Chains A and B, each alone.
Chain A
Amino acid sequence: MKMKATLVSGLVALSFGASAAQADTVTIGMITTLSGGGAGLGVDVRDGFQLALEQAGNADIRLVVEDDAQRPETAVQIAERMIQSERADILTGIIWSNLAMAVVPSVVAQDIFYISPNAGPSPLAGANCHPNYFNAAWQNDTLHEAAGQTANEQGYTNTFIMAPNYPAGTDALNGFKRYYQGELAGELFTQVGQTDYAAEIAQIRASGADSVFIFLPGGMGISFVRQYEQSGVDLPIISAGFSFDQDVLPAMGSAALGVINTGQWSPDLNNDTNIAFVADFQEAYGRLPSIYASQGFDTANLILSALNTAEVSDQDAFRDALRAAEFDSVRGSFAFASNHHPIHRIYVREVVEVDGALTNRIIGTAFEDDYRDIHGENCSM
């Protein structure tokens, strides 16, 4: 029987395009969103990641990219394929929290490393943290907490807050309220994927608020900002950076000018790694990098730095190497907390126009270098 199995597996290797990897090659599986409305984010993460790999020129790394179409069940299926037939050692790439929650727990339980370039749902930072899971971007609440802190510093005392009615939206509002000290002029849930915000804007107008906090990623943010500009309500908007970054700013146009948002990164961050990254990315892809591209770039460099000191097959050594995070992050200072989520500085940014293109510029700091998320308290690592 055993001989037959060997023979058959030889045939399989042939029929599957000889996917069996050579001994020294490290296979990285990237599951990300390349089709549908959220494709821009996945494309940026992928491009940032690939840029770092090309710059490193490491021939022993094989990157396999596949589109999850923003569907959890598809992502789960791809993860299984990457582990079972591509023999991936490391997985990465997922953009959305709900997809991460579907994929990550079972992946890390199979002794595969997962490095998140974007999503950071709170269970994975707290009670369900795992030695094989690292987040190179942020915990989901982080930028919203920073927005709450920024609202205080801007002197807002009566903010109207709004987010879509799904768990990431609830987390956003809770994150904001965790640091915000003023009164709430109103609190609203919108529908996921909602395109018309006239009803909400009318309520903002009637609420007597002095500012508005929104979390409306992707197309929802574009719709809101355009309609808000036309409504004549001119209260300042404050938000987390992922609703106001390079993927959506060109589509928002001047309506986004002046919006204050928070981020762990900004294109004008003045450190050598970032200056080179922004220039190289523009040269390679002909567009400005977004916060997502910066995260893809950091994720790849984190993995590369760990591969330089340890074999991925030696799991404990590789894990220690990841934990050390000895790479030059585009965001400057970067370290891992005990729950494998970043300790980093969070900046306050403003949307401005530079040479006819909308982009962000740093105007302050919301949290200093030692910021870490609160969910780590629930993590037993």
Chain B
Amino acid sequence: MSLALFIEQLLNGVQFGLMLFLMSAGLTLVFGVMGLINLAHGSLYMIGAFFCAAAAAATGSFWLGLVAGLAAAAAAGAIIEITVIRRLYDRDHLDQVLATFALILILSEGVRMIFGPFPLYLNVPDSLRGTIDLGITQYSLYRLTLIGFGIAVAVGLWLLIARTRLGIRIRAGENDREMIAALGVNIRVLYTVVFALGAALAGLAGALVGAIQSVQVGMGEPVLILAFVVIVIGGIGSIKGAMVGALMVGVIDTMGRFLLPRFFATFLEPSQAMGVGAALASMLIYVLMALVLVLRPKGLFPAHA
């Protein structure tokens, strides 16, 4: 195994992790501020991808599509918050799980009614096609851009929360909900804004990833479950935890799929090693999650320590 291959895989893991971060950040933010567990977060990812693909096809510009996807997801988020989610804040987690499970059914079928059963076309913008020479290895320019996007959003989110008035309110909301209401903050609006922000991040991830994946109904659910793994590992409610968890999951999953079959091939026959390796690789991050929870039941960075 060459160093170039190893580094390329590492980059792949980081890129995957950063996209997971975009998904997880919204999820963990919503949980941290409103105490809500939202299974329909994956549907917002799907909405972002579908509207991006439709708008890009109509206008011919990927970037306009990206804006449309982001806006559609944010708008869908706001509408869902106002009509449904709002009623769930003081319910128990069971009701939240069930109501948002119902939302998955509604949104998936709804998107299929609008866009039809076939996958949509969405491609990488011309300016980001092809590869770039990193010295030791060739790497996809678009994937490199995704890494850039991931880092930029992470920095932006940090600035938003640390430096702006909205951020102060979000942090206050995480610590004491009654308190900020007493301070005269319109908590309803704040919640809608936070939910729409989370939805926009999911929509952004969906649109960005949609360009190199299949834009189809149900695309959000595997990512949703991974995002849950991420925030549980990181500590639910913690943005920092989401970042660490996402990078861990991204790198470990990628490296597991790459290295485990090779590892088993050192003492098993090739076809058997491939099967066993692939089977174990697919379980790896769940094992990781179970391990973290057993050792630190509230995740690596407990938000309300």
**Interface size, chain B (Cβ < 8 Å):** 52
Residue of A nearest to B119 (CB): A251
Residue of A nearest to B128 (CB): A230
Contacting B8 at CB < 8 Å: which of A189, A191, A205, A252? A205
List residues 234-280 of chain B with CB under 8 A from any CB of chain A.
Answer: 254, 257-258, 261, 270-271, 274-275, 277-279
In the complex, chain B residues whose CB is within 8 Å of the CB of A254: 123
**Interface size, chain A (Cβ < 8 Å):** 42
In the complex, chain A residues whose CB is within 8 Å of the CB of B112: 35, 39
**Are B5 and A190 in contact (CB-based, < 8 A)?**
no
**Are A40 and B119 in contact (CB-based, < 8 A)?**
yes
A181, chain B: closest CB distance, angstroms: 19
Residue of B nearest to A358 (CB): B121
List residues 99-144 of chain B with CB under 8 A from any CB of chain A.
Answer: 109, 112, 117-124, 129-131, 138, 140-143
**Are B131 and A231 in contact (CB-based, < 8 A)?**
yes
**Are A196 and B16 in contact (CB-based, < 8 A)?**
yes
CA distance A226 to B119 in the complex (A): 13
In the complex, chain A residues whose CB is within 8 Å of the CB of B258: 199, 202-203
In the complex, chain A residues whose CB is within 8 Å of the CB of B8: 202, 205-206
**Are A222 and B12 in contact (CB-based, < 8 A)?**
no
Contacting B142 at CB < 8 Å: which of A189, A218, A230, A253? A230
CA distance A189 to B143 in the complex (A): 23
B185, chain A: closest CB distance, angstroms: 40
**Are A193 and B12 in contact (CB-based, < 8 A)?**
no
In the complex, chain A residues whose CB is within 8 Å of the CB of B217: 36-37, 39
**Are A220 and B278 in contact (CB-based, < 8 A)?**
no
**Are B138 and A199 in contact (CB-based, < 8 A)?**
no
**Are B279 and A188 in contact (CB-based, < 8 A)?**
no
**Are B121 and A250 in contact (CB-based, < 8 A)?**
yes
Known: A199-B9, A206-B2, A230-B129. Is A188-B274 also a contact (CB below 8 A)?
A: yes
Residue of A nearest to B15 (CB): A198
The interface-forming segment of B162-170, B173-181, B208-216, B295-303 is B208-216
**Are B5 and A202 in contact (CB-based, < 8 A)?**
yes
Known: A35-B112, A195-B222, A198-B12. Is A187-B254 also a contact (CB below 8 A)?
A: no
Contact with A along B276-292 (1 / 0, CB 8 A): 01110110000000000
In the complex, chain B residues whose CB is within 8 Å of the CB of A43: 117-118
A247 at interface, CB cutoff 8 A: yes
**Are A223 and B213 in contact (CB-based, < 8 A)?**
yes
A127 at interface, CB cutoff 8 A: no
Contact with A along B1-44 (1 / 0, CB 8 A): 11011001100100110000000000000000000000000000
CA distance A360 to B66 in the complex (A): 31
**Are B119 and A222 in contact (CB-based, < 8 A)?**
yes
In the complex, chain B residues whose CB is within 8 Å of the CB of A231: 131, 138, 140
Contacting A219 at CB < 8 Å: which of B109, B219, B279? B219
Contact with B along A161-180 (1 / 0, CB 8 A): 00001000000000000000
Known: A191-B282, A199-B9. Is A226-B213 also a contact (CB below 8 A)?
A: yes
Given contacts A190-B278, A232-B140, A252-B121, 7 further A-B contacts (CB under 8 A): A43-B117, A189-B278, A200-B257, A222-B119, A230-B141, A232-B138, A247-B118
Q: Which 4 A-B pairs have the closest CB atoms?
A: A232-B131, A219-B214, A39-B117, A198-B12
B residues near A (Cβ < 8 Å) are 1-2, 4-5, 8-9, 12, 15-16, 109, 112, 117-124, 129-131, 138, 140-143, 209, 211-219, 222-223, 254, 257-258, 261, 270-271, 274-275, 277-279, 281-282
